[in-house]
Amino acid sequence: MSRPFDPQRFAVVDLIRRKRDGGGWSPDEARWIIEAYTAGFIAEEQMSALAMAVFFRGMSAEELDPWTQAMIDGGVRLDYSDLGRPTVDKHSTGGVGDKVTLVLTPLVAACGVAVPQLSGRGLGHTGGTLDKLEAVPGWRGNLTSAQVRRQLREVGGAIVAAGPELAPADRKLYALRDVTGTVESIPLIASSIMSKKIAEGTGALVLDVKVGSGAFMKDLAEARDLARTMVRIGTGAGVRTVALLSGMSTPLGLTAGNALEVREAVEVLAGGGPADVVELTLALAGEMLAAVGVDADPAEVLASGRAMDRWRRIIRAQGGDPGAPLPTALETEVVSASADGVLEQLDAMAVGLAAWHLGAGRVRKEDDVQAAAGVELHAKPGDLVRAGQPLLTLHTDTPERFAAAQRALAGGIGIAPSGTTVTPSPLVLGRVA
């Protein structure tokens, strides 16, 4: 039987100092921090200090597991075992141009699996699925648990925000990390993702852990460590969990923004779209179906148009109009190639920051985003380019933002002499189960 929460049991400042100085917390202390933060006993500035201490000092499994469990226990844990079909969700750790969820959810739902796709908002330089879908007129992501359950029964898929009843500590901490420079931390990322995913009640989970300049994890070893941490937490909680490691040094697809990415996702659902988006979508779909034992060919389902039909049903079920025109920016500016040659580098972080400066992301947690802001790519590494040829188009409603976006791109575009061979890196870099 768990001990009743005692706000005076530990001294917050002592816990901050100990972690700051490289010490550890007991399981009880780690759990108490989350309980106290959820109850409002730990102030935002104190939690900011705790998050920064964790950012630099990390957490052991003995600290992280009770910390994560306290996040789960602070709210409800849903159960979809009565749906009559298996459930599976997917989560990406965040990248630039990553609109895969928009295609993957209707695709896997069209294969006969229920997909309670819990999604978030933009964090740092990366875009959020909810921000993207809110570019669709009328669409809303805030559904009650009962509404999600009904939609899963009737449509097979739902893309929703975490309700206030799911991991409430994470709801507060997620926004705090975005504005305090504490996003790129393995224990904070792992506990944030896994607390919500376990609480949402899915039977299986596939993780897309991004690796590269535009990801929170910059190198493969670091990304593999994050993947192993999350797979361990998920498996320990009884959720079948597997992770793919995928490259994020170049933006995924040809757009980074909100409405721009929705438009590209619809192109993929219609049988077109960039090859890299299609490749990663099918790889993740295959893992999701395998995790729940469903024998279906996602490539065939995508080609058949059934995924597009399911997309329209999901959008309509959540109040959106799948046939309505998407927002377009009031202003655009072209970035041109500086020389003839081969595009050797198009840095994902540079493009992500440019999109953020244009209005696609947030400076403060209470900020709105511009639906039409972002970056459109006209070439990818390995393409031949000519001097003066458009490489990127910047989109925004506020043209005074163009200068900051251009500065973000400085050094992020590399053109090699003609004849240079640019070998693209594999998109899927590994698997952890």
Catalytic residues: 91, 170, 177, 192, 196
Rounded to whole angstroms, how far apart are CA atoms 431 and 428?
A: 8
Contacts of 153 (CB under 8 A, 6+ apart): 83
State the chain's maximal CA–CA distance in angstroms.
Answer: 70
Using alpha carbons, select from 386, 396, 370 the residue that is nearest to residue 418: 386
Specify the pairing of strand 331-336 against strand 390-396: antiparallel
Specify the pairing of strand 240-247 against strand 428-432: antiparallel
Instruction: Annotate 307-320 with b (16+ C-beta within 10 A) or e (fewer).
Output: bbebbbbbbebbeb
Adjacent-strand bridge partners of 430: 245
Using alpha carbons, select from 65, 76, 79, 74 the residue that is nearest to residue 41: 74
Using alpha carbons, select from 275, 422, 282 the residue that is nearest to residue 346: 422
Radius of gyration of the chain (CA): 21
Specify the pairing of strand 384-385 against strand 341-346: antiparallel
CA within 13 Å, CB half, 159: 34
Compute φ and ψ for 342, nearest 5 degrees: -115, 130
Q: What is the 3-state secondary structure (H, E, C) of 121-163?
A: CCECCECCHHHHHCCCCCCCCCCCHHHHHHHHHHCCEEEEECC
Rounded to whole angstroms, how far apart are CA atoms 364 and 318?
A: 27
Rounded to whole angstroms, how far apart are CA atoms 211 and 248?
A: 5
